[in-house]
Amino acid sequence: MSFLNQAPSRRNILLGGIGLAALALAGCAKDVRPLADGSASPTDSPSTSPSSSDSASASASSSASGSTRIIPEDEYLKDSDKYLGPLKYEYKELSNKYVEATDTSPAKNVPTPVIDQTARRTNTLEGAYKTLCAYQSSYVYLMRTGTIEYAINLMNKDDTKLSAELLNVHTLYSKGGWVKGYENKMSILSEYRTRAYASTELSAVSFPCEDWASEFTTYQNGSSQVQEASTIQVPVILVFDQGKWNVTSAEFFRSEYSERFKKIFAGSGGSSSSSSGGSYSGTGV
């Protein structure tokens, strides 16, 4: 049995209900709807929004506590177009040549991912984007080496849905298995909007992404199994909390953050509508 069959899939972890819609504040929402092939695509749903004067008032307001400033969505996402297209995975150059995995041995001299810690600790769209890039490059590194530290440090340690998948790969390698031929490309789609709830205390960004994974083979206990190539469209959410960005699973966002966001944005008069809150909704994991 492949290690991928022993825990929730990457798609299900990221996909189901990965949504700022759980906040139910903005009056505009996105749905994640299944395609005929079983993948998923974010699609627009009907929306309504307050007047521009209401938006201006809300965007300038603070939360009910009076200590948190809400940042209008259009202000927070003003440079979002420059992040469209393929994510920029960065790796450190190694002195030894990278050797791909074979049928008899795992990869060798795999370049390590670059983690921009300064960007990760900056409450901006750029910070969210660079953290997502770092996580994706760390995930590729995990799949090629079994080394979990880079990826798991870019998520909340209590996000068990997300960590279970990472630990599955790590366990495969720790038991003498490996992966051959894994490649991944993630892109931010132009046909759907990046959305955000942003404040000086707590922020969330939902990137509409296409995630492509190549066909690859897992080896374990003298047997092998081919995993088919896949392409899905999925919103991916990151949360800025306690001074840093983390990639967040759908379930953890709902359980950990929904009420906290409600307290901040409900106190602003119902978020800043089209200029201060975006949302995705889904069917659940």
Calpha distance 38→99 (Å, rounded): 35
Query: Is the confidence at residue 60, as pLDDT, over 80?
Result: no
**What is the torsional sign of CA 68, 261, 252, 13?**
negative
Q: Residue 103 corresponds to which tokens in the numbers above?
A: 């049928």
pLDDT reported for residue 95: 83
pLDDT digits (tens, 9 = 90+) for 177-209: 999 999 999 999 999 999 999 999 999 999 999
Q: Can you say whether the dihedral through the CA atoms of 262, 129, 127, 272 is positive or negative?
A: negative
**What is the structure's pLDDT at 268?**
53
Answer whether residue 61 shows pLDDT above 70. Answer: no
Q: Which of 278, 274, 267, 284 minimizes the C-alpha distance to 61?
A: 267
Percent with pLDDT over 90 in the chain: 62
Q: Which residue has the tokens 């190549």?
A: 214
Determine which of 67-76, 145-154, 162-171, 263-272 has the lowest per-residue pLDDT on average. Answer: 263-272
pLDDT score of 42 more than 50: no
Q: What pTM does this model have?
A: 0.78
Model confidence at 173: pLDDT above 80: yes
Provide the percentage of residues in the chain whose pLDDT is more than 70. 70
Alpha helices in the chain (DSSP H): 10-15, 52-59, 73-76, 117-120, 125-145, 149-152, 160-174, 250-256, 258-266
User: Mean pLDDT score of the chain, rounded to an integer?
Assistant: 78
Q: What Rg, from alpha-carbon coordinates, does the chain have?
A: 20
- The answer for residues whose C-beta is within 8 angstroms of residue 190's C-beta and 6 or more apart is 84, 85
pLDDT value of position 161: 87
Q: What angle is formed at CA 59 by the lines to CA 208 and CA 119, rounded to 5 degrees?
A: 50
- Specify the pLDDT at position 253: 92
